[in-house]
Amino acid sequence: MEYQEAFPDLADVYLEDSWVLGIRSAARDVAFQLDAVLTPSHRLYQPPVPGEQHCYHAARLSVSSRKLLLDRSDLPAATDASGNSDFGNVDVVVQVLWDGEAAWEMTGDWGILRSVDPSVSITFD
């Protein structure tokens, strides 16, 4: 199952090209500040601005779970030519087996997040 099917809030979001701008975590919750890529079917979609490949929109992706592991990378934030910093993309979102349980795993230059039966939501600024 694809993440867009598993989590209705992500139905019209393309995480693989979204930029991670920040991460906050607690025992059972992780929040990602994103420059999220919206697909043309998203209600907030606008044609990409000149020089951009996608429609980007500021967002907060929240993941909560009874069993969650965030393993942050030691890599520092990258700074682009315009002076903005980020921690790379959400490169992969897949289902995995973790300690004998079905889980979701997100990975990128920022690290790895594993969660069992997560609650996932996204809000837009």
Number of folded domains that form the chain: 1
- Using alpha carbons only, what angle is made at residue 54 by residues 96 and 87, rounded to the nearest 5 degrees? 55
Q: Is the dihedral angle over the CA atoms 94, 99, 100, 102 positive or is it negative?
A: negative
**Does residue 82 sit in helix, strand or coil?**
coil
Q: Is 28 exposed, middle or buried (0-12, 13-18, 19+ CB in 10 A)?
A: middle
- Provide the token pair at 125: 């600024």
Instruction: For 53-77, write each residue's pLDDT tens digit.
Output: 999 999 999 999 999 999 999 888 8
pTM summary value = 0.92
pLDDT at 81: 64
Domain containing 18 equals 3-124
